[in-house]
Amino acid sequence: MLKQERADFIRARLESLYPETPIPLDHGDPYTLLVAVLLSAQCTDVRVNKVTPALFDLADTPQTMAKVSVPAIQEIVRPCGLAPRKAKAIRDLSEILVREHGGEVPVDMEALEALPGVGHKTASVVMAQAFGVPAFPVDTHIHRLAQRWGLTKGKNVVQTEADLKKVFSRESWNKLHLQIIFYGREYCSARGCDGTVCEICQTCYPNRKNPVATKKS
């Protein structure tokens, strides 16, 4: 298969497997989604969803969160790991949202990326899932699958994102990044598949004999 043929097959197969793509992180609005995505760094969505109810009972708007002490936030988010850094980022970004954005999450990549604790991937998730703006958030899991499926030779998520945007239509990005995550968790995990086991890997590369090592910069 050529790269575009692989991409077309992958998109069709993922659409048949996951016609619906519910957002894995529980939230009620763009702000609570932003906080949940920030907490999900180096943490599972399941654990984040166990932590956020208590956090959002304490404060679920920038205005209320900006008044909560960092230690109080830290105590709640401790199970998510990196608690001191994440708690400070949540409090600081809440203050910035109130002071500079009228208490609203901005619908702007540059403004989102300027917030404490918010990198390109987090900003992309918020743009895609909160506002429906086409984006292709790429984490280490999508990076790994894209390499296994021959959709990128990039050694980092930046290059992988650019390569995926070239082979998939813009209108598919928001749904597709979730479909890839769902497939990776179910069939093509880091330990469950090495590039030779799952259906998509076998279909894209039927003659592949050796495991695929993920390239990282």
Q: Which residues are catalytic?
A: 121, 139
- For the chain, how long is the longest CA-to-CA vector? 59
The CA-based dihedral angle spanning residues 158, 121, 89, 62, taken in that order and rounded to the nearest 10 degrees: 150
Helix/strand/coil percent split, the chain, to 5: 60, 0, 40
Tokens 């990039």 sit at which residue? 154
Q: Which long-range contacts (CB under 8 A, 24 or more apart) does 86-91 make?
A: 86/38, 86/39, 86/41, 86/117, 88/116, 88/117, 89/38, 89/115, 89/116, 89/117, 89/118, 90/35, 90/38, 90/39, 90/65, 90/117, 91/65, 91/66
3-state class (DSSP) for residue 196: coil
Radius of gyration of the chain (CA): 18
Q: Residue 105: how many CB atoms within 10 A of its CB?
A: 23
